[in-house]
A and B are shown apart, each in its own frame.
Chain A
Amino acid sequence: MSNTIDNALNWCFKKSVWVYHVNAGGCNGCDIEILDALTPYYDVERFGIKLVHTPRHADALLVAGPVTRQVRERVLRIYEATPDPKLVVGVGSCAMGGGIWHNSYATLGGLGNVLPVAIYIPGCPPRPEAILYGVAQALGLVPQQVKKQEYLEVT
């Protein structure tokens, strides 16, 4: 019985994702692409995805940017303000590993150093289709196409 309810609630979560859009010190390129992905042309409402304006209503945080030192505190507060269960999606090259700011003193070198990230979407900036595909993959709506690979540095 409780299993059935869990399954139903899981299904609801997958069919209704409200996203909140965070700029963690990015150059605005990814933000513009995120907004493109939310236009009527791509019609994300048919997947149940909706832009909300406060983290309290959000299920997924779309974070763009390399996370500067200044913005770290704010990103953490937004993360804490989001009710569980929640997903963090890193959008763009900067969120993946700092991008061109990977070794700058002013950034923390990517979102992975600050928050537990569910999925990264590569690109500078990623296309709107890629953002939609990434969110769908994080929810398990489409199959994963690339396996995770790990490499060890030979000393």
Chain B
Amino acid sequence: MNLADISLAVLYTLVFPGFLFTAVVGLFLTWVDRKVTAVIQSRMGPPWFQPFADIGKLLSKRMIIPRGVRTVGFIGAPLLSVAGATLASVIVFLALFDPTVGFMGDLIVLVYLSMMPAIALIIGGASSRSPFGAIGASREMSMVLAYEVGFLLAVVTVIMQTGSIRFAEILAYQAQNGAVLWSLSGFIAAAVMILCMQAKLGFLPFDISEADTELIGGPLAEYSGVGLALFKLSRAMMFFFLPVFVVLIFTGAPQLNLLSILGFLVKLLMVLVLLILIKITHARLRLDQALRFFWTKVGLAGLVAVAFALLGL
């Protein structure tokens, strides 16, 4: 590996498909989320720069490190969260923009990396010495164990249909043989994936670990200033790359013409609006209800999708 390769890798990670690009677009999509919510509640909603002003303000504030916290975990968790989101978004967007860069098994790596923000929340909450943080961390842990099952089963369905664990090959397969979504197993897997994504993004009805009105933010309760800004930023990045990931693995990448790119953007917007609509029309579930929902209904649907994929449907 020479210097040019290394600097290109750094550029990929920090600027273009990585941190800066994903963060800016993700924050913008957070505004879309808040605006759609406002319109449905018949209010005006925030101006377009609102998420950027929020992050700027949080960065300008002093970060309080409460007495008695585990300093390494408390400071390291937000960094881990942003690092995981950045690397995952690099893999997603490189598969989209430059399919030659990927490696065998990058889909599996991506699944693990997209779990990092949740793990960072658990670490941060558990090291914050706050009872709210501890409860939030334990709830997040139960939720991760529940929703990752459905998420993995949906990914496995796609892998079985396309016969590859390499992101670029999955996209190439769909460019030739049509989208996975239009098969029976693909459709069930996509529905499972949307529900699991709702939980991964910490949206209602599955925002059980943060639960503003009962756990005052859960793992985030003791975070202020930069730490909180980094958690919000990684959440915004996930709100961008996870929908892109879903659109890519279920319907393939866009071709290099205007119509196809527009179609891709419309699909992305549809996934986003679906997530937002589920979020604002549901109330928060209890932990046991959510666990039962994911372990039985969603898990079963995932297994059915895998079985159909085995039968070649």
What residues of chain A have their CB less than 8 Å away from a CB belonging to chain B?
8-9, 11-13, 15-16, 40, 43, 45-46, 48, 52-54, 56-57, 59, 81, 83-85
A46 and B44 within 8 A (CB): yes
Q: How far is the CA of A11 from the CA of B49 in the complex (A)?
A: 11
B61 and A84 within 8 A (CB): yes
Contact of A81 among B56, B57, B64 (CB under 8 A): B64
Q: How far is the CA of A13 from the CA of B61 in the complex (A)?
A: 9
- Cβ-closest chain B residue relative to A13: B57
Q: Does B217 contact A (CB under 8 A)?
A: yes
Q: How far is the CA of A12 from the CA of B56 in the complex (A)?
A: 6
Contact of B62 among A13, A46, A57, A84 (CB under 8 A): A84
A45 and B38 within 8 A (CB): yes
**Inter-chain CB contacts under 8 Å: number:** 82
Contacts of B44 in A (CB 8 A): 43, 46
- Cβ-closest chain A residue relative to B50: A48
B217 and A46 within 8 A (CB): no
Contacts of A83 in B (CB 8 A): 61-64, 224-225
Contact of A11 among B53, B132, B220, B228 (CB under 8 A): B53
Q: How far is the CA of A48 from the CA of B53 in the complex (A)?
A: 8
Q: How far is the CA of A59 from the CA of B56 in the complex (A)?
A: 13
- Cβ-closest chain B residue relative to A15: B53
- Cβ-closest chain A residue relative to B34: A45
Contacts of A16 in B (CB 8 A): 50, 53-54, 56-57
Contacts of A40 in B (CB 8 A): 41-43
Q: How far is the CA of A34 from the CA of B245 in the complex (A)?
A: 42
Q: Does B288 contact A (CB under 8 A)?
A: no
Candidate in A40, A56, A84 with the most chain B CB atoms within 10 angstroms: A56
**CB under 8 Å from chain A, chain B span 149-199:** none
Q: How far is the CA of A81 from the CA of B54 in the complex (A)?
A: 19
Q: How far is the CA of A13 from the CA of B53 in the complex (A)?
A: 7
Q: Does B100 contact A (CB under 8 A)?
A: no
Q: How far is the CA of A46 from the CA of B61 in the complex (A)?
A: 22
Contacts A40-B41, A81-B64: A59 and B57 contacting too (C-beta < 8 A)?
Answer: yes
What 10 additional pairs, Cβ within 8 angstroms, besides A45-B50, A59-B57, A84-B62? A16-B50, A16-B54, A16-B57, A40-B43, A45-B43, A46-B46, A48-B54, A56-B224, A83-B62, A83-B63
Contacts of B43 in A (CB 8 A): 40, 43, 45-46
The 3 closest A-B pairs by CB, nearest first: A12-B56, A9-B60, A53-B216
Q: How far is the CA of A154 from the CA of B55 in the complex (A)?
A: 52
Contacts of B49 in A (CB 8 A): 15
- Cβ-closest chain B residue relative to A47: B46
B64 and A56 within 8 A (CB): yes
Contacts of A9 in B (CB 8 A): 56-57, 59-60
Nearest chain A CB to B33 CB, angstrom units? 12
B221 and A45 within 8 A (CB): no
B56 and A46 within 8 A (CB): no
Q: How far is the CA of A119 from the CA of B225 in the complex (A)?
A: 24
Contacts of A56 in B (CB 8 A): 64, 221-224, 228
Contacts of A8 in B (CB 8 A): 56
Nearest chain B CB to A10 CB, angstrom units? 8
A54 and B59 within 8 A (CB): no
- Cβ-closest chain A residue relative to B49: A15
B53 and A12 within 8 A (CB): yes
Q: Does B47 contact A (CB under 8 A)?
A: yes
List, sorted by A's number, 29 A–B pairs whose CB atoms are closer than 8 Å: A9-B57, A9-B59, A12-B56, A12-B57, A13-B57, A13-B60, A16-B53, A16-B56, A16-B57, A40-B41, A43-B43, A46-B44, A48-B47, A48-B50, A48-B53, A52-B217, A53-B212, A53-B213, A53-B216, A54-B216, A54-B221, A54-B222, A56-B221, A57-B217, A57-B220, A59-B61, A83-B224, A83-B225, A85-B61
Nearest chain A CB to B211 CB, angstrom units? 10
Candidate in B42, B44, B56, B222 with the most chain A CB atoms within 10 angstroms: B56
Contacts of B220 in A (CB 8 A): 57
Contact of B224 among A13, A48, A57 (CB under 8 A): A57
Q: How far is the CA of A16 from the CA of B216 in the complex (A)?
A: 19
Q: Does B99 contact A (CB under 8 A)?
A: no
B47 and A46 within 8 A (CB): yes
Nearest chain B CB to A61 CB, angstrom units? 14
